[in-house]
Structure 1
Amino acid sequence: SGQEAYGAFLGTCLVCVWLEVILSFCPPKLLRRAFPPMVTGVCVMLIGVALTGTGLKYWGGGAFCADNSYKRMRVTVGESYPGDWTAPGAYPSESPCAGGNCIPFGKPLSGVCSYSGPSYDKEKNMTMGDRTTCEQFNSLPGVFPANTNPGDSYTKCTGNGQVVLPFGSPEYIGLGFSVFIMLILVEAFGSPFMRNCEIIIALIFGYFIAGVSSYTPPGSDDKLWYVTPNRINNAPGITFLWVNTFPLSFYAPAVIPLLICFIVTTIETVGDITASAEASRVPTHGDVFDGRVQGGLLADGVNSFLACLATTPPNTTFSQNN
């Protein structure tokens, strides 16, 4: 199951994370030879370059709709009925895929539609309707169900409050541009302290603009808000941090890939500490700096171990700010 797989990932990380802890106790000369500034600098730069594309995806409305903007999909959910209707032939399905007529998603053209049958909820004594998911690539006209309007896309960006628009809509671009403009203004006219905090200042400004902005769909008088308090209002007042647990296990085939990941994390941490020291105009050589590097590696490894115990993936330094 997915929970067992995630537990295996966490358990394997708990073992492999000690590589970074061991490296933190290596002599500084050995660390400098293994991870020279050229290597660490290129690593941090490549991380920043890769994150530029991720930032553009979120600027346009969201990463998921950006990655799937070439698709159109329609999801049809059947009616729900009281009682148990899950016996073969009992549920009155209207889906064209009922009875195994659809091929599940697979190779590029082998599965246009997927189908999941009705399910019975014992607590509610209700049979939840079946679900038909059909994918249509823009280059395949006429595939069921034929969406004649390209705007009817399953790749519309959700998670932006009440506003649901296609990726790259001017409304999303404008909100993201407000953050970009604030970054430039703080960098150009802000004090040294403000420039050190310019990222969070720009994000808070963009959040404020989104909070007071609304969108009115064409032909409607309704105002849709980009920021809604629904999740906060529906959240419990007090909750325990670990509401879910996962069965920890060890997955041997993942050891080598994870060890490589922790080596990359080590390179990233050394580069991040070096860049931070250089930007702070403190020495980047000597015993004090070597102690900072070793302490940073040790903290990164120990905190990654604690993160896995807290059911989250290992953490890493925030190098993209450099």
Structure 2
Amino acid sequence: MSVHKTQLEPTPVAQVHSDVPIQQQGRAHTFTLRSAVANAGRKITTKHGWFGDYDYGYLCMPALPFMKQKQRLPPFYGLHDELPLLVGMATGLQHALAMLAGLITPPIIFANSLSLDASTSAYMISASLIGCGILSLVQMSRIHLFGRFYLGTGLLTVVGTSFATLSTATAIFNVMYADGTCPSTTNADGTITRGPCPDAYGKLLGTSLICSFLEIIMSFFPARVLKRIFPPLVTGTVILLIGASLVGESGIVNWGGGSNDCHNRPATGIFQLCPTIFAPRPLPWGSPEFIGLGFLSFVTIIFVELFGSPFMKNISIIMGLAVGCIVAGATGYIDGNTIKSAPAITFLWVHRFKIGVYPPAILPMFAVYISLAMEAIGDTTASAEVSRQAVEGPEFDSRIQGGVLSDGIGGFFSALFTVTPLSIFAQNNGVIAITRCANRGAGRWCCAFLILFGILGKISGVFLAIPNPVLGGVTTFLFASVAVSGLRVLAYNRFTRRDRFILAAALSFGFGNLLAPGIFTHLFDGVDNPNRGLQGLFDSITIVLETPFLSAGIVASLLNVIIPQEVAEDDELASDDEESQTHMEKELH
């Protein structure tokens, strides 16, 4: 990708071309232990090694009204540039904080769906932070395996617990409660109360572990084949519906008071009020107090975008959580018992789950890993662009292959870490763009902060104490941002008649299921006494059909393969490309 420098962009102090391997720049560099120690000593003992020439005022100065803004941009730190220690720490912390809300949300939602206790929920948050920190280091690496195959992207690409798993897991848990795998009781008024079911989470992990081999195998396909099978038309549709379904299933429901049984407003039982009748200030779902708390957090994100510094804009979700929690704490909505009961120090496997395999979940989890491969392809492309690296050619193809392989292996080890499948986090590309730092040193600092946050168990207790309306206010925005990312990917299409037809067919399933959930729940009720294997197949099909992004993604993929491109379309696209290129050249001149 060509990069045009403007007069606002200074020349970096160190004239090192970040998109060229070090050994190819000018003269060969031989790194020894002595030179590494000497370089580390120089960085630690010199002012330039600590601070460099980065404009910290640009990073931290808020955009206040009527305030004259500085026009000079800081230097761009590429993959192989020498990174000052303080810049690495500051930008690494930004990456960690930017992804923090996305890392704590899935375990909180899983715990609420399975009615797990506070100590188990806090452990799940810690495990998510630690596991993502460790496996992000693997994704950022570029380890040569054999031939043209690598492990990792070699870019500043961090991974987090995938949102794609949330919708699928919700459907899987619904089937588990329906078939008696998980306990539930029917109340006098007809409502159903779900009991704690940690074994369901263990079965989800075990099934995920097995299904991860699908993505590992896919990573050895040529990158051009993967990009042909999963073009932007398919990946954009999947990402759009992941975000949209999460807004409806979790975000906006938590904003009203809770996504557990209390959102049905039962007349009796512990969920008569939200989040339960034992909360410090329980209220009926949808009460104005809950709506107001969520709205405060949501508006905070908007104000940070309007007036915040680049540092604050990158952590606007955390700012929204912080302001909402301050007000919620002052008005008595926060229960501090989760903080008191959380351990000071924790790590992986402090709490364990009984690993198992749930056969009806195998087919849906295969589809999840296919969607993770789609995300990896798109997000790796975006990471390469924002890092000023080539987005075509053998090196880029190896980054795609390495990213998909690392995602698959990460899914295997994340299950062993008691964490659900991982995927590359797209929002960190925005941090790279704003901080102008694509150096992997910042990514390693990010991983260190994530692992530290996970080890400090009290931090998980703090996250668990966040009231549902505050969490809902920010996650609604977060999930809507995922949907917007899908729209952005779809915008890469020319939207020919063929594209519009495929998209309409896919969204018929996706939006239909999203707006009328439960339509496929009773699809196989008319089958009399199916055997266990057949019932498992029926449950698998039901889970796929009831998950909007899975059903839409399958339809989009199949139609993209079987509906041929029209010759007239190809000629028209080529003509449009030539016209666009001519117009761009005129604009540049």
Instruction: Provide the C-alpha distance between the structure 2 equivalents of 1:160 and 1:318, rounded to a whole number of angstroms.
Output: 36
- The structure with the greater share of residues assigned to helix is 2
Aligned twin of 1:217 = none
- The structure with the greater share of residues assigned to strand is 1
TM-superposed CA distance for 1:273, in Å, is 4.0
Q: 1:171 to 1:67 in 2, by over 3 A?
A: closer
TM alignment of 1:223-302, pairs within 5 A: 225-239=332-346, 241-274=348-381, 280=386, 282=388, 285-287=391-393, 289-302=396-409
Could you tell me whether the CA contact under 8 Å between 2:235 and 2:371 is conserved in 1?
A: no
Partner amino acid, structure 2, of 1:63: S
TM-superposed CA distance for 1:252, in Å, is 4.5
Q: How many residues were matched structurally?
A: 232
Instruction: Provide the C-alpha distance between the structure 1 equivalents of 2:229 and 2:366, rounded to a whole number of angstroms.
Output: 16
Which whole-Å deviations, capped at 9, do the CAs of 1:155-184 have from their partners, x for residues lacking one? 432399512111111111111111111111
TM-superposed CA distance for 1:238, in Å, is 4.1
2:251 maps to 1:55: yes
TM-superposed CA distance for 1:194, in Å, is 3.0
Instruction: Provide the C-alpha distance between the structure 2 equivalents of 1:55 and 1:6, rounded to a whole number of angstroms.
Output: 21
Could you tell me whether the CA contact under 8 Å between 1:307 and 1:315 is conserved in 2?
A: yes
Out of 408, 412, 415, the residue aligned to residue 305 of structure 1 is 412
Which whole-Å deviations, capped at 9, do the CAs of 1:210-260 have from their partners, x for residues lacking one? 22x21xxxxxxxxxx122332222234445532343444445554323212
Could you tell me whether the CA contact under 8 Å between 1:44 and 1:271 is conserved in 2?
A: no
Could you tell me whether the CA contact under 8 Å between 2:262 and 2:276 is conserved in 1?
A: no
Aligned twin of 2:155 = none
Q: Provide the TM-score with structure 1 as the length reference.
A: 0.61
Sequence identity (%): 44
Q: 1:283 to 1:39 in 2, by over 3 A?
A: farther
Partner amino acid, structure 1, of 2:219: S
Instruction: Provide the C-alpha distance between the structure 1 equivalents of 2:198 and 2:340, rounded to a whole number of angstroms.
Output: 28
TM-superposed CA distance for 1:36, in Å, is 0.6
- In angstroms, what is the RMSD of aligned CA positions? 3.1
1:17 partner SS: helix
Which whole-Å deviations, capped at 9, do the CAs of 1:10-62 have from their partners, x for residues lacking one? 33322210111222232110111011112112211111212222211111111
2:313 maps to 1:195: yes
Out of 286, 292, 315, the residue aligned to residue 168 of structure 1 is 286
Out of 28, 32, 35, the residue aligned to residue 223 of structure 2 is 28
Q: Which segments of 5 or more consecutive residues in structure 1 lack a partner in the other structure?
A: 76-152, 215-224
Which whole-Å deviations, capped at 9, do the CAs of 1:170-209 have from their partners, x for residues lacking one? 1111111111111111222334443332222222222222
TM alignment of 1:37-186, pairs within 5 A: 37-53=232-248, 54-65=250-261, 67-69=263-265, 71-74=266-269, 154-158=272-276, 162-186=280-304
Q: Provide the TM-score with structure 2 as the length reference.
A: 0.35
Out of 205, 224, 241, the residue aligned to residue 323 of structure 2 is 205
Which whole-Å deviations, capped at 9, do the CAs of 1:240-295 have from their partners, x for residues lacking one? 532343444445554323212211222233344445666x4856831455444333
Q: 1:258 to 1:61 in 2, by over 3 A?
A: same
Q: 1:156 to 1:251 in 2, by over 3 A?
A: closer
Could you tell me whether the CA contact under 8 Å between 1:57 and 1:66 is conserved in 2?
A: no
Could you tell me whether the CA contact under 8 Å between 1:11 and 1:248 is conserved in 2?
A: yes
Q: Which segments of 5 or more consecutive residues in structure 2 lack a partner in the other structure?
A: 1-180, 182-196, 427-478, 486-589
Aligned twin of 2:524 = none
Instruction: Provide the C-alpha distance between the structure 2 equivalents of 1:232 and 1:302, rounded to a whole number of angstroms.
Output: 34
